[in-house]
A and B are shown apart, each in its own frame.
Chain A
Amino acid sequence: MILRYSVTSIAILLFSTFYLLYDNTLSSALQWQLISGKTPELFTEFIFLFATLPRLAMALMVGAVLGLVGSLLQQITRNPLLSPLTLGTSAGAWLALIIISIAVPSLAPDLKAIVVMIGSMLAMGLVLLIAGFRELAGLRVILAGMAVNILLGAITSAIIILRDQYAKNLFIWGAGDLAQNDWQWMIWLAPKLIIAVVILAIAPRVLQLLRLGQSGARSLGLATTPVLIVLFAAALWLMSATITAVGIISFIGLIAPNIARLLGANNARDQLYYSTLLGALLLLLADFVARIASNLTIDIIPSGTATAIIGAPMLIYLAMRGSRAEDQMQISQNTVLRSQLTLSKWLGIIGIAVFALIVAMFLNNDGVSWRWNIPSDFEIATRTPRILIALAAGICMAVAGTVLQRLINNPLASPDLLGVSAGATAAIVISSLLTGQSLFVLNPLIALTGSAVMLAILVLLTRAKQFSGGTVLLLGISLTAMVEALVQFVLAKGSQDVYNMLSWLAGSTYNTELTQSLWLFAASILIMVLSLISARSLTLLNLSTDIAAARGLKVSLTTNLLLALVALSCALVTASLGPIAFIGLLAPHMAQLMGARKVKSQLLLSAALGGVILILADWLGRNILFPSQVAAGTLAAALGGGYFVILLLKAKVSRHSFY
């Protein structure tokens, strides 16, 4: 153990020295003189003293805090793949920053920092409120974090699209940047991090007791709830402060505790301390890479992009060899559903679908008032493809969601949450970046490759270790985070066509051609039919792979084909209208709540629901801010996120948890 700590410390010292010597003509003797108080004269000396040195200090400090908070949260929730960013902090900070920068652009930076911090804390407070303080160790808190992330993210992107000129400069912050011009931010941040010392002092004992479970700890005389609240609040404070200072830096808080465990940190204290040390080393290395990469290219590579690019493969590696014993989360299908799927419900759904179509075509806002009117030929020609593609995308995502949920027996598996859509998005954004092509003309094959790669990674991981659903979910969220970091990097490049990319990322039906919508509609019907044909296999696989094999089903072939179907749906939707979030989770779940227990009825009902939701989201988006438009994907995510939050709150009240 002492060896481990000393080797890591020496590595930090060594790389810090390299970090200071890199891209710098000053001798280390001169550097030392400067550190010990020599007045700088040459400009290189100023760079050393006020750019390189504070940046190094910032990397070490922020890295240590991320490692500490990551380990703390993972130990509290006993969830090895939880990232501090999963809990809503970054989404809250990002939304607050966008709102305040647009509403009061001239606000002093200090005040702005306070607003950002409040935003971040409110978001995480909301997550905790939804999760409930008594169940911090469960999956609930992650679900709540995910819902809040998506909800706030959708609101943020809607605002950004409407005010893109303002938002442009903020993307660098969103990508996480450690560059410094002076010690200003260090002086701002350092005092706010003193609380970390308190955590390091008191947390280990509490965490050790918590390993017995909350009730076990309680029986030993630890008042768990108040202690957990205090620890969570401290973690929240630390995260908010660092996010405010340097922006969103992903993966460090997720990976450091895992490497600590892998290298043999067993007890709570060891994990906490060693993860803190590792966090510092990891961010130091990542930022070093970012500096070198920025020197080699004509653009800035933000530190957060480097952590994401280095972090994601590390995460996958860790997950591959991570032990199952620590994976405490299990999700089971909810069986306490009382409602029946009656004929009248089917009729009701059909009625709603027809009504949605009528509304989408005939009710609109002309800037003065909302009124029903007969659309002109031109209006029919513009609205039809949009309605049709919304319907088709809704069906595709709903079917993909249902299949995936049944297949990996996890009611929370949504293709967009698992990173499958993110894969398609990343492929399209990256190839647009490399070829300079417009996002709207890119080949669906590129999207398909992206989502297939993501799906393959997930499948390999699930197969290799037979992970619980919760782990897969977290892995998906992390992969999505990596894609987001890449997208932020592209957006930060500062070209004027950022707004086109933003509108594509929001999942908009605006650019849909009639032929394109017909193609997707045909594809959605095909996907629907294919999934119905495989309904029996799905039912069997859902029960257990053994039963399925006993009944003569070629398990791995069927599973692979069904997964390919999921990847195809996501890729088609993403390639035609951009990423559409949440429908894949929401529609199957609503269908189940309405009593669709059999695979076939769930497929049909969720497809109908998915189509209706997206049609209505698209209609609302076209009209609500007339003449400006909000993307269907954005509204669907906002509605879905809101629905999810309500669901979680209701489940909390009635104790009929749905997971």
Chain B
Amino acid sequence: MLKGALCFLTTLLIASSLNAQIRIIDAQGEHLFEKPPTKVVALNWAMAEQLIELDAPLLAVSDVAGYQEWVVQPALPEGIQDLGARAEPNLEKMARLQPDLIIVSGITKEQVARLKNIAPVLNFNTFNSDHNNPQVAIDTFRQLALLFNKSQLAEQKLSAMQQRFTELRSALTTAYQGKLPKVSTVRFANTASVYIYGDNSMSQYALKQLGIKPALDIATTQWGLVQKRVLELSKIQTGSVLYFEPFNEYPQLQASRLWQAMPIVRNNKVAAVPATWTYGGAMSLKYLAEAMATSLLTLAPNATEQNPVKNASNEAVQ
């Protein structure tokens, strides 16, 4: 029985490879490609990031300056073309570049129809409240790899990422002597309000891979975060908080007595994470995990003496 099924599957695979067609499924359904596209534009940073990681032939992306400032990793290839703001990528410039594929996410059917006049369009689901955002990012990564005939590279990168998770996890476990803390990640809006990342966020997924549970329960939302008062963080008694930079008002926040009185601050359980994009693709999970693990190591019990971050916050408390 099993053998029969396997046999059937193999035949199917051979049949499809004989057709030499690549089957890709996006939000709109199934798309067939004869060969991997060679001139691709991405209208969204997460998609651009996925393509760069796959060494795909990326020609142009929306808001190059914004990408370099907010996404940072992986770096955009030299000479990439700028298509203007993300909300309104320039169609005329796009058409002049004569791409053979446009990759987007979360746009309306009408917008897809218009882009199809320029080139075939793949519209992926990325951030949505009714699915698991990080898992979808990984699935999309595999789909794109299939399209560009880079499946091997993709699997290699994914397993390297798993490998990295394991390394980071064991480094953290050693540093925390086997007792990993609960951690929540946040982005400050100002000194009084904060966006807290929850279950459906890339950062919380990356932490989960490191064996870390969230310190706060946050409802599942489309982008994986909710806006709360900074006071909300006082509910964390034993866990830690990582905040993403840039946050220029941090000195002011540190100087406020309410902040100083919070359990996380009194116990020195707050650390900064250098600017990392929290709405990215599969590989952004790795960058997130690395950046967050580095920050968490500075909070580890045995890192007290050598840790400048911690000393700084100690001074602020006094």
Contact = CB atoms under 8 A, between A and B. Distances in A.
Interface string A31-55: 0000000001001001101110000
A181 B226 CA distance: 20
Contact of B261 (A46, A169, A493, A502): A46
A184 B255 contact: yes
B259 to A, nearest CB: 6
Nearest to A291: B229
A657 interface: no
Interface stretch (A60-68, A315-323, A376-384): A376-384
A182 B255 contact: yes
A499 B87 contact: yes
A431 to B, nearest CB: 16
Nearest to B219: A298
B228 A496 contact: no
A43 B192 CA distance: 17
A577 B117 CA distance: 22
Interface string A626-650: 1111000000000000000000000
A172 B86 contact: no
Interface in A607-638: 625-629
B190 A43 contact: no
A626 B90 contact: yes
A440 B114 CA distance: 14
A180 B192 contact: yes
Given A43-B263, A628-B84, A50 B248 contact: no
A334 interface: no
A313 interface: no
A40 B190 CA distance: 25
A47 B106 CA distance: 41
A495 interface: yes
A379 B193 contact: no
Contacts of B108: 438, 440-441
B16 interface: no
A628 B227 contact: no
A376 B258 CA distance: 62
A219 interface: no
A165 B85 contact: no
Contacts of A511: 110-111
Interface in B178-217: 188-193, 195
B246 interface: yes
Interface in B211-236: 219, 221-223, 225-231, 234
Given A105-B246, A628-B84, A629-B90, A182 B110 contact: no
Interface stretch (B25-33, B91-99, B137-145, B164-172): B91-99
Given A109-B249, A182-B255, A627-B93, A496 B279 contact: yes
B92 A382 contact: yes
Contact of A47 (B82, B221, B258): B258
B70 A43 contact: no
B235 to A, nearest CB: 10
B181 to A, nearest CB: 19
A629 B88 contact: yes
Contacts of A499: 85-87
30 contacts: A43-B263, A106-B246, A161-B85, A163-B66, A165-B70, A169-B188, A177-B190, A177-B193, A180-B192, A181-B191, A181-B258, A182-B255, A182-B257, A182-B259, A298-B226, A300-B193, A300-B228, A300-B229, A378-B91, A379-B92, A381-B117, A382-B91, A440-B108, A440-B111, A441-B110, A494-B225, A499-B87, A503-B88, A510-B88, A627-B84
Interface of A: 40, 43, 46-47, 49-51, 105-107, 109, 161-165, 168-169, 172-173, 177, 179-182, 184, 294, 298-300, 364, 366-367, 376, 378-379, 381-382, 436, 438, 440-441, 492-497, 499-500, 502-503, 508, 510-511, 513, 625-629
Top 6 nearest A-B pairs (CB, nearest first) are: A182-B256, A627-B84, A46-B261, A181-B256, A179-B192, A628-B84
Interface of B: 63, 66, 69-70, 82-93, 95-96, 106, 108, 110-111, 114, 117-118, 127, 188-193, 195, 219, 221-223, 225-231, 234, 246, 248-249, 252-253, 255-259, 261-263, 279
Given A46-B261, A50-B258, A298-B219, 5 more contacts: A105-B248, A165-B70, A182-B259, A497-B106, A626-B84
